[in-house]
Amino acid sequence: MSIEGSPILDTGEAQLSEDDFQRIARIAKAGWGLNLDPAKKPLIRSRLGRRLKALNLTEFKAYCAVIETGDATESEHFVSALTTNVTHFYRELHHFEMVEDELAKGLAARAKAGERLRIWSAGCSSGQEPYSLAASLIAVLPDAARYDVKILATDIDLGVLKTAQAGRYEAKTAAFPTPQLKDRVFDPGQDPDARDINVRPGLKKLITFRRLNLVQPWPFAGQFQIVMCRNVAIYFDKATQKTLWERFSDILAPDGLLFIGHSERIPNPPEIGLNPVGITSYRKTIAKN
């Protein structure tokens, strides 16, 4: 069967035509820069199919109309359904080791001397990355809260941001590379039989959580010494990725560090003022080529 000549994928109660998929893809790209891979149609059909049921809709075209009206609540569900928030504490440990090395070699001393230190976790998901950054910061600079030191943590998904701000995690899912790293983030004195555990209050004080769409204007000024944007650009097409890398380069302080995801690469980084300095790690040069 087909609708207007387009093949249909069966979702049970609803059907997703190729035309519907292309309309969803256009909405996702225009509003959030998301590039939907046709190979992921079954996943998209399944996730958005749940939203149809929640809204008592029987057609994807009707659902698209809801999103196109600018319905803020459903738009949040739409973005959440199309993205995957998979993360854990100290994921890709080598990046955090490099951060700590950078802090020990000068950034911490400069902060003590009164300089501004800013770190950005862009695409922070449910908070494991910024809390790991805060723990690494305190490991090198225990009294960081006394200085002009802040971590900005942003994500497009309000649902995961709510979890991140709470700083409360299910104990059995709070995995770490080593027990020592876990003790940095969670007080080992908490009830060992508790279902949920809370991050250390000192870490939360260093982090500001904000909602941000990376493909729209960034509502802040000033430069960052460290930026982590890992496994976010995979949702964008090549042109959008290129623009994003350029914008990160522009906002990095001289000698600042940019960390990206393990499956991401920046083609010809010197063209945008970056030099590779490790696995998916780049340093800002003084000027672009």
Residue 135 three-state SS: helix
224, 258 Cβ separation under 8 angstroms: no
CA distance 119 to 101: 15
**What does residue 4 show for φ and ψ, rounded to 5 degrees?**
50, 40
Q: Is 155 a catalytic residue?
A: yes
The neighbouring-strand residues paired with 2 are 7
How many whole angstroms separate alpha carbon 8 and alpha carbon 95?
44
| Residue 32: count of CB within 10 angstroms of its CB | 20
Q: How far apart are CA 104 and CA 98, in angstroms?
A: 10
Catalytic residue among 19, 20, 155, 157: 155
Active site residue 50: no
Burial group, residue 2, by CB count within 10 angstroms (0-12, 13-18, 19+): exposed
Query: Which one from 47, 110, 116, 200 is the annotated catalytic residue?
Result: 47
Active site residues: 47, 155
